Structure 1
């Protein structure tokens, strides 16, 4: 039986309630999440931060349908992810989610514009140039990834994630080994993308400086939320209230 993945409007509110995720069993069991709740609305950037092993990636994977929680609920508007089959989750990720990873997942033999077009399937006319301009790569359409510096490759990866107009954008430690400055530049770029495109975005990062660009900051430690705070619009660098 084919499952329907409900899509409402142009934006999606993501809600997770009492998420638990345990890996392994018995004495070797690791409790990565121990009752985490979070909400991300359209047009907002949520930063999930904390030290290594705090549960950031486990949370992001459960929110994105890449992993199933051991217990708890994840809803994208009218869609309850925990009730979807593996095929239903794959369809949700394909049609409604955008992902930015440290690996970038760029095809080296394709130009920047071709990489974005490939990621978007069949994007509408002008969309490729639109997202390349949004991430600061206007004029780089014909350049291949190998001719771009690491930070520009990162920007290209964001353009690839945005081209299909995903309901929710996920970024898991996307700065990778590029260093703190690149991480802050990426957080600023995601802030711009969220404000321009109106999508919900969840960024998992160990860099606390990224919190300056967030609407909400969730701090994890040992699979628990140890701090959950909202930031006023006026506090965001370069953004008016």
Structure 2
């Protein structure tokens, strides 16, 4: 059995009268690709933020690579996020005045470490951007910018890469290229990936899809296909109305790219 990269137990996050998470238990093995889906307001992004140490849960526990997040001081939590956790957002969050190479090197420089040119070049080559080191974000397509963001997240060799709607700002063709790349990181490098998405096509690239409703796990699929994910999401709509973007993806349910 693969070691557990992320262990979540009885995770709860309450905002006044709203229970964004209401007792989530999950084990995410190392070297696997997990997608998290659910209706709008189901707690997907809250789960990702709590699991990645970006938000403090009300109760429950999270362990990353065997390290419990509860009780860590703000400084130690920052160090853990910097060294063991990668995060990719829907918006690329690149600094427009910096080149691709400088954006990728930024996490290490902020940590007081000076990455070598070879290290940065290798990180960009790993995501298919060899030769683009000197390009600034404005000179790159949306898909290329997301690849730079991926390289920046991966340069520290994190135990877990968290991705929050990584293809949400991309067209379908470019989005599929990014999804194929994420799949290759798992298969070729053994990277652990946890991705929130509303798109059954994106979820079909994962090894496993976990469904949330009202902050609780409401089942999962292993070896998912786009059609199977779309059918499960359509079933969830009977209990909770789906967001427009999710409804469109369910209706589209194109063949999986991975």
Fold conserved between structures, TM > 0.5: yes
| SS of alignment partner, residue 152 of structure 1 | helix
Shift of 1:125: 5.2
Provide structure 2 residue ranges, at least 5 long, that are not aligned to the other structure.
225-255
- Alpha-carbon RMSD across the aligned residues, in angstroms, is 2.1
In the alignment, structure 1 residue 204 sits paired with structure 2 residue 190: no
Paired with 2:173 and 2:21, the residues of 1 have a C-alpha distance of 29
| SS of alignment partner, residue 53 of structure 1 | coil
After superposition, the Cα gap between the structure-2 partners of 1:153 and 1:205, relative to the gap in structure 1 and judged at 3 Å, is same
In the alignment, structure 1 residue 141 sits paired with structure 2 residue 133: yes
Matches within 5 A, 1:218-237: 218-231=210-223
Residues 176, 257 of structure 2: 8 Å contact kept: no
Residues 120, 160 of structure 1: 8 Å contact kept: no
Matches within 5 A, 1:55-74: 55-74=43-62
Q: Give TM-score scaled by structure 1 length.
A: 0.83
Paired with 2:75 and 2:185, the residues of 1 have a C-alpha distance of 29
Matches within 5 A, 1:23-38: 23-24=15-16, 29-38=17-26
Moved beyond 6 Å, runs of 4+: none
Correspondence for 1:15 among 7, 10, 15: 7
Which has the larger displacement, 173-182 or 214-223? 173-182
Paired with 2:123 and 2:135, the residues of 1 have a C-alpha distance of 15
Q: What's the counterpart of residue 104 of structure 2? A: 116
Residues 143, 175 of structure 2: 8 Å contact kept: no
After superposition, the Cα gap between the structure-2 partners of 1:180 and 1:19, relative to the gap in structure 1 and judged at 3 Å, is farther
After superposition, the Cα gap between the structure-2 partners of 1:174 and 1:238, relative to the gap in structure 1 and judged at 3 Å, is closer
Residues 4, 27 of structure 2: 8 Å contact kept: no
After superposition, the Cα gap between the structure-2 partners of 1:18 and 1:181, relative to the gap in structure 1 and judged at 3 Å, is farther
After superposition, the Cα gap between the structure-2 partners of 1:37 and 1:124, relative to the gap in structure 1 and judged at 3 Å, is farther
Paired with 1:89 and 1:54, the residues of 2 have a C-alpha distance of 26
Shift of 1:87: 2.3
1:112-134 C-alpha deviation (Å, 9 max, x unpaired): 12211223333355221222122
Shift of 1:158: 0.5
Q: What's the counterpart of residue 131 of structure 1? A: 123
Shift of 1:174: 2.3
Residues 43, 199 of structure 1: 8 Å contact kept: yes
Matches within 5 A, 1:174-193: 174-193=166-185
Paired with 1:159 and 1:12, the residues of 2 have a C-alpha distance of 24
1:53-93 C-alpha deviation (Å, 9 max, x unpaired): 11101100111111122121111243111222222222211
Q: What's the counterpart of residue 231 of structure 2? A: none
| SS of alignment partner, residue 89 of structure 1 | helix
In the alignment, structure 1 residue 39 sits paired with structure 2 residue 27: yes
1:123-163 C-alpha deviation (Å, 9 max, x unpaired): 35522122212211122122111011111111111111111
